[in-house]
Chains A and B, each alone.
Chain A
């Protein structure tokens, strides 16, 4: 797989340069800021972050140990009414064991310019809300008073968290322009974090070391008197101060065919790599892929779950009793898990219920299902391992990071390469994964702790082969037959499309989307035979498919299969185009023209190809007396097309649409 330019940008970590922090302070809103009517660099912006400043410090608390205190100041300009939502802010908090992380909003003020003077309206308690959304998380919210077009709002919030294993992300980009964003972390020498920057544009970074200290209280009991005595001592340590500054970052925009726009947003992610407290041995969390996977493997709800076998042994024995080959075993086990354990819709690479309970209750999360699958495959003597995955909606796992993944599948290593399996989807089969799991690369973990990257993007072409055979009558009415065969991913998509749709409703939709034809003799083959291509065939009549102009008949030979508009309408493309999988659409069309008519003109045969073997379009037409034969194919060989190739792709589609909309002209003899 070819990785687009994105990756290069991301590996340019820590561009060290001199950073001078700008002077911003809450409360110092200027008349100029209030007077500004539009954002100077983005006149369409509904609002803008004038400045956002955050610090995270580790404070030693004698009861709790180190606590991360994050303090954020924000000043936002509202330009338009559509930007009013920026005056409602919320910050989530975790709840663990009934204890909430502390989130406190303060200094929230709205500024307006009234008759040339600055008017301040402070937020009171009536505008603050707290909501426990579930047992695990809640939100603190504020809504600022007196907001109008032109207002500037400010607020501060402070989060105190004991969750040292992961600090919160810091986003430098938003849906609105960010004029200035600064984030400073003070991290004591006892903690080492992996810091990851992602996005197309990166902030400036400056690092230095400073001295930090905390005070420890100790209580001792006099051995003779039993009286307690207190002593305190001050502990000094080194602290890494890192300052990140982003200036004038543009607003994020969403586009079509993007798998997840957040992949391209400029932000920082932190992950605890290790702790090294004085007089204690170093405790690694994750620093590279090997230690990441080792850490994950050692989690109670991961590795040990793979070793449990007792719960299924009996069932598996009878299931595999007559199996002859490994291929057969793989299929039997995959189908067994699919039909016995339902996916509860929850992602995750750690088990929720645990495999044993999931098996018994017939429901579980992704890890419950696919770790169970892996364990069964191993038990059957196959070389099976789990593969960590980040789903499309979760974004790409760019870095060695245990929080980057949210999904797991199984892989069987064979001489012909890996066979990837996911038992959470009804229509998945060996090497055909649900689309959610198709996201660049996964990480395969072996028992011995080694790991390797696994390409998740499909390389094989998914076909859509359509055979159409029709006759035109002198009134322009068309009678014909269609046979459509889909393979691989196209077959999966096809199966998903008619899942739990009544045939009647499916046909009604198909008729309406196909130029209002009337369909009869409909049949489907291999609906449930997942390893075979799906086949759909039907007869149709259509009275709206030709134009009768004068005594001529104009007809698009591809009928309703023609692509009539270019999906790529944007002039400039910011992010790569994601097709999901490589594919080929192929049409074989036979047309019988009516008696008493002859061909006046035909579209010319032709072909289009893209550079780098990205794709090709072929259009071939021949006439044999009153029968026309067409063969048309459209093939895209890469699942992901970089934005640098966008113009070429757009031109290709333009050429294809132009060709596919050309008409045959028939005239009366």
Chain B
């Protein structure tokens, strides 16, 4: 009977595709869809049939006209599979610009490769994808696939527009589901385009979108998924890599994950337990205990990416991490949790997006998401989060990867969405103190002490671990404004307790003072030129965001060469506005000694598209003033 069903289904399906038989000539594409587009999606039909808690079939029928080389990825003729997901059917037909068929590509002619890339040691995931070499543009690929999976925990999201530089003629999604599985959905940003809900009952749902123009990316924009329409779907009764689950919100998910996935993963051998207890000794403060243990894990373990089966979701057993000394983010976080448990410090497994961009877990809608795991330790009213994959981060350090975002903290009584630590602009400080001298030939020699804190600590801390040639490169890039730079002694102090990184650098450079006739010209601000190049964007559309902000303060003593007098000194300068504050000051100490003071404060914030040019001009003023020059005349 089941077979018959399939056959019937197939028949209906094929007749549907015949009905779709289109004219793929590019002449049929309206000009507005070609503007800014590298590819035009002629139609994109996704049919999702959830047959049971453990069975979902996803069919895709898509026609994409590729206008140029950069449009090829819009075809997206790729499916991933593994033990629980199989590719039932995959094929493609290629048409030339006039809609004449050039080539048919069958499943066996698709490439089949392992999903383990250089960064992943092992994975049982594989990809099957189409590789096609076009002879000319444009061309059209009509792609169809059918995959079947038991992983109903992951219903694909529907993004009628899924990338920049692509336009869409028509995109349709049909979803069918039994009314017993607790199907839920969330529409976001639907008002941006013309999207119609064409059907909704307790067992099915359909949308269609038409004529979506291509969009261009713009610097400082929010993430694509925040800007454009997205349909997210989820089941209350789902299956995750062979394990049945049920949850309709984050609280229930947390409870289920604790009970079904995390349970019994933190058992440790007695020997380790007594070792850890001895290590912690009489320490009674929970955070201090946690610090000792975090340090222990950093010294003992290393990060290795292994994605096998349920291992893609379930952490390796703590006892195995203890024995082997390696694991991925899940394994290392859970291992740390196990060790903390031994000394009576509660901690929680936490799922989130690890990314330099701030990216939230959706608080209002539960569906399994995220790409990273950290560990959360309650600290009175607050929480401390530990990045357990790093062998170098200070305790509780989160800037630039897991800071200021909503995460799902998995507590045994239920999951809870919590925002992680916010690095306030003023705490992201860089303090530079130093001096430089110029001789009568314009040769520069200087000493500088730079202290970095907050989010700036994270960017600087890594220099310490660079190879000598990488260090040289770093400083020659950092001071790219100083030509012919030669580095002298370089020393670092990494104060992990107070999260403060200090660099002491000696440097020299010939021709810093440019001599023209009897004059010498040089830029006052040698050590800290604003490096942020804010592009001019014609007709910006998106709002923009400054995610972290910072505060730089510099105090530099300048020794002028003997035998010269000052012809011109730049004026003190101050710029204040919603984006921040910038101030420079030159103090004349005596005839050949100056003190240069500079402070630059950049606020974090969200702004409208209209304010972008204002921001660009603000930064341009800063850059221009950072370039202010002193002119000396030979006596």
What is A's interface to B at a CB cutoff of 8 Å? 44, 46, 80-82, 84, 87-88, 121, 126-127, 129, 131-135, 141, 143, 145-149, 253, 339-345, 361-363, 499-500, 502, 504-505, 508, 511-512, 516, 544, 547, 549-550, 554, 564-566, 569-571, 601, 603, 654, 657-658, 661-663, 665
Q: Which of B530-564 contact A (CB under 8 A)?
A: 533, 535-538
Q: Indicate whether B1 reaches chain A with its CB closer than 8 angstroms.
A: no
B429-459 contact mask (Cβ, 8 Å, vs A): 1 or 0: 0000000000000000000000000000000
Q: Indicate whether B326 reaches chain A with its CB closer than 8 angstroms.
A: yes
Residue of A nearest to B623 (CB): A544
Picked from B392, B473, B483, the residue with its CB within 8 Å of the CB of A566 is B483
Shortest distance between the CB of A13 and any CB in chain B (Å): 31
What chain A residues lie within 8 Å of B589 (beta carbons)? none
Shortest distance between the CB of A407 and any CB in chain B (Å): 17
Given contacts A499-B69, A500-B38, A663-B514, contact A126 B324 (CB under 8 A): yes
Picked from B121, B486, B535, B620, the residue with its CB within 8 Å of the CB of A544 is B620
Picked from B113, B135, B516, the residue with its CB within 8 Å of the CB of A134 is B113
Q: Is the CB of B516 within 8 A of A342?
A: no
Residue of A nearest to B316 (CB): A126
What chain A residues lie within 8 Å of B629 (beta carbons)? 547, 549, 554
Given contacts A511-B536, A550-B568, contact A253 B469 (CB under 8 A): yes
Q: Indicate whether B608 reaches chain A with its CB closer than 8 angstroms.
A: no
Q: Is the CB of B302 within 8 A of A81?
A: yes
What chain A residues lie within 8 Å of B469 (beta carbons)? 253, 570
Q: Indicate whether B580 reaches chain A with its CB closer than 8 angstroms.
A: no
What chain A residues lie within 8 Å of B634 (beta carbons)? none
Picked from B112, B216, B631, the residue with its CB within 8 Å of the CB of A135 is B112
Q: Is the CB of A339 within 8 A of B326?
A: no
Shortest distance between the CB of A653 and any CB in chain B (Å): 10
Cα(A345)–Cα(B303), bound, Å: 35
Cα(A133)–Cα(B118), bound, Å: 11
What chain B residues lie within 8 Å of A566 (beta carbons)? 483-484
Given contacts A80-B465, A81-B302, A549-B568, contact A601 B325 (CB under 8 A): no
Residue of A nearest to B391 (CB): A81
Picked from B102, B134, B302, B483, the residue with its CB within 8 Å of the CB of A87 is B302
Interface pairs (27), CB distance under 8 Å: A81-B302, A81-B392, A84-B302, A84-B303, A88-B121, A88-B304, A133-B114, A141-B121, A143-B304, A145-B323, A146-B324, A146-B325, A148-B299, A149-B299, A253-B467, A253-B469, A339-B135, A344-B131, A508-B536, A569-B473, A569-B485, A601-B519, A654-B511, A657-B483, A658-B511, A661-B483, A661-B514
Q: Count B-side interface residues using an 8 Å CB cutoff.
A: 66
Cα(A361)–Cα(B326), bound, Å: 49
Q: Is the CB of A148 within 8 A of B392?
A: no
Cα(A82)–Cα(B463), bound, Å: 12
Q: Is the CB of B111 within 8 A of A569?
A: no
Picked from B135, B480, B516, B535, the residue with its CB within 8 Å of the CB of A508 is B535
In this complex, the member of B485, B516, B517 whose beta carbon has the largest number of chain A beta carbons within 10 angstroms is B516
Residue of B nearest to A658 (CB): B511
Shortest distance between the CB of B56 and any CB in chain A (Å): 27
What chain B residues lie within 8 Å of A131 (beta carbons)? 114, 116, 122-123
Given contacts A363-B135, A500-B70, contact A569 B476 (CB under 8 A): yes
Cα(A502)–Cα(B536), bound, Å: 16
Cα(A68)–Cα(B417), bound, Å: 59
Cα(A650)–Cα(B300), bound, Å: 46
Residue of A nearest to B324 (CB): A145
Q: Indicate whether B274 reaches chain A with its CB closer than 8 angstroms.
A: no
Q: Which of B227-245 contact A (CB under 8 A)?
A: none
Cα(A80)–Cα(B465), bound, Å: 9
Cα(A571)–Cα(B631), bound, Å: 31
Shortest distance between the CB of B275 and any CB in chain A (Å): 11
Residue of B nearest to A254 (CB): B469
Shortest distance between the CB of B571 and any CB in chain A (Å): 10
Q: Is the CB of B112 within 8 A of A134?
A: yes
Q: Indicate whether B32 reaches chain A with its CB closer than 8 angstroms.
A: no
Given contacts A145-B324, A342-B133, contact A547 B473 (CB under 8 A): no
The 6 A-B residue pairs whose C-beta atoms are closest, nearest first, are A344-B133, A146-B325, A500-B68, A342-B135, A129-B122, A145-B324
Picked from B36, B480, B521, the residue with its CB within 8 Å of the CB of A565 is B480
B591-631 contact mask (Cβ, 8 Å, vs A): 1 or 0: 00000000000000000000000000000100010010101
Shortest distance between the CB of A573 and any CB in chain B (Å): 12
Cα(A644)–Cα(B519), bound, Å: 37
Cα(A565)–Cα(B326), bound, Å: 44
Q: Indicate whether B585 reaches chain A with its CB closer than 8 angstroms.
A: no
Q: Is the CB of B521 within 8 A of A554?
A: yes
Q: Is the CB of A500 within 8 A of B69?
A: yes
Q: Which of B48-82 contact A (CB under 8 A)?
A: 68-70
What chain A residues lie within 8 Å of B535 (beta carbons)? 508, 512
Picked from B114, B216, B320, the residue with its CB within 8 Å of the CB of A126 is B320
Q: Which of B493-524 contact A (CB under 8 A)?
A: 510-511, 514, 516-517, 519, 521
Given contacts A44-B468, A564-B483, A569-B472, contact A145 B135 (CB under 8 A): no
Residue of B nearest to A127 (CB): B324
Cα(A571)–Cα(B476), bound, Å: 12
Q: Indicate whether B185 reaches chain A with its CB closer than 8 angstroms.
A: no
Q: Indicate whether B103 reaches chain A with its CB closer than 8 angstroms.
A: yes
What chain A residues lie within 8 Å of B627 (beta carbons)? 547
Cα(A628)–Cα(B473), bound, Å: 38
Cα(A135)–Cα(B114), bound, Å: 10
Residue of B nearest to A142 (CB): B121
What chain A residues lie within 8 Å of B516 (beta carbons)? 601, 603, 662-663, 665
What chain B residues lie within 8 Å of A564 (beta carbons)? 483
Q: Indicate whether B136 reaches chain A with its CB closer than 8 angstroms.
A: yes
Cα(A465)–Cα(B399), bound, Å: 48
Q: Is the CB of B484 within 8 A of A145?
A: no
Q: Is the CB of A654 within 8 A of B484?
A: yes
Cα(A662)–Cα(B486), bound, Å: 21
What chain A residues lie within 8 Å of B302 (beta carbons)? 81, 84, 87, 147
Q: Which of B99-146 contact A (CB under 8 A)?
A: 102-103, 111-114, 116, 121-123, 131-136
Q: Which of B285-334 contact A (CB under 8 A)?
A: 299-300, 302-304, 306, 320, 323-326
What chain A residues lie within 8 Å of B134 (beta carbons)? 342
Picked from A82, A147, A516, A657, the residue with its CB within 8 Å of the CB of B325 is A147
What chain A residues lie within 8 Å of B473 (beta carbons)? 569
Q: Is the CB of A340 within 8 A of B483?
A: no
Picked from B36, B122, B568, the residue with its CB within 8 Å of the CB of A502 is B36
Cα(A131)–Cα(B124), bound, Å: 8
Q: Is the CB of A565 within 8 A of B483?
A: yes
What chain A residues lie within 8 Å of B300 (beta carbons)? 148
What chain B residues lie within 8 Å of A84 (beta carbons)? 302-303, 391
What chain A residues lie within 8 Å of B624 (beta carbons)? 544
Cα(A571)–Cα(B472), bound, Å: 10
Q: Is the CB of A134 within 8 A of B536?
A: no
Shortest distance between the CB of A551 and any CB in chain B (Å): 10
Cα(A512)–Cα(B537), bound, Å: 9
Shortest distance between the CB of A423 and any CB in chain B (Å): 12
What chain B residues lie within 8 Å of A499 (beta carbons)? 69
Residue of B nearest to A175 (CB): B467
Residue of A nearest to B326 (CB): A143
Shortest distance between the CB of B506 and any CB in chain A (Å): 15
Cα(A554)–Cα(B567), bound, Å: 14
Cα(A363)–Cα(B135), bound, Å: 7
What chain B residues lie within 8 Å of A82 (beta carbons)? 465
Cα(A82)–Cα(B517), bound, Å: 51
Q: Is the CB of A133 within 8 A of B113?
A: yes
Besides A84-B302, A508-B535, 16 new A-B residue pairs in contact (Cβ under 8 A), listed by A number: A88-B121, A88-B304, A129-B122, A131-B114, A131-B122, A148-B300, A341-B135, A342-B135, A500-B38, A504-B538, A512-B535, A516-B620, A549-B568, A601-B519, A661-B483, A665-B516
What chain B residues lie within 8 Å of A339 (beta carbons)? 135-136
Cα(A654)–Cα(B485), bound, Å: 11
Shortest distance between the CB of B339 and any CB in chain A (Å): 16
